[in-house]
């Protein structure tokens, strides 16, 4: 099940673990990424806190954590080749996996229909 945030992050939920990245819309708005900085495995992140940083030829942007949890895995492939985020933002371009403190909190996020309405 995919969920979205108003800040253009997506989550794919699998039990109490969420795979998190930026949306296709966000990748298109940023343009070609040249740098990605990810959180450390084991880091405790809080909802709406800064989780990662991306830099494109246009600007640097923060990626926010959609829910509280602990980072269990990061995608080193996008650090090595940030263009993967541009080519497949909601697939191979995922950023990190988060073990959620309260998986039910995801119910408060946007579904795909609501996100599409948001970006219009």
pLDDT interval class at 58 (50, 70, 90): confident
Going across the sheet that includes 17-22, the strands are 2-4, 9-14, 17-22, 96-100, 69-74, 44-45
- CATH of residue 39's domain is 2.40.50.100
Its pTM stands at 0.96
Q: How many helices (H) and strands (E) does the chain have?
A: 4, 9
Gap between the Cα atoms of 27 and 85, Å rounded: 7
Query: What average pLDDT score do residues 23-48 get?
Result: 97
- Asked if residue 1 has pLDDT above 90, the reply is no
What's the pLDDT at 13?
Answer: 96
**CA neighbor of 78 nearest in space, from 95, 91, 56, 64:** 95
Report how many domains make up the chain: 1
Domain extent at residue 91: 2-119
Q: How does DSSP assign 98-120, residue by residue?
A: EEES-GGGGGGSB-HHHHHHHH-
């Amino acid at each position: 099940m995919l969920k979205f945030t108003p800040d253009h992050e997506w989550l794919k939920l699998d039990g109490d673990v969420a795979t998190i990245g930026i949306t296709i819309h966000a990748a298109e708005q940023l343009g070609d990424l040249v740098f990605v900085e990810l959180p450390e495995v084991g880091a405790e992140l809080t909802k709406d806190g800064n989780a990662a940083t991306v830099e494109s030829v246009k600007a640097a942007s923060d990626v926010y954590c959609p829910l509280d949890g602990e980072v269990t895995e990061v995608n080193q492939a996008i650090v090595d080749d940030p263009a993967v985020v541009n080519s497949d933002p909601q697939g191979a371009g995922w950023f990190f996996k988060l073990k959620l403190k309260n998986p039910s909190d995801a119910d408060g996020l946007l579904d795909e229909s609501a996100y599409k309405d948001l970006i219009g």
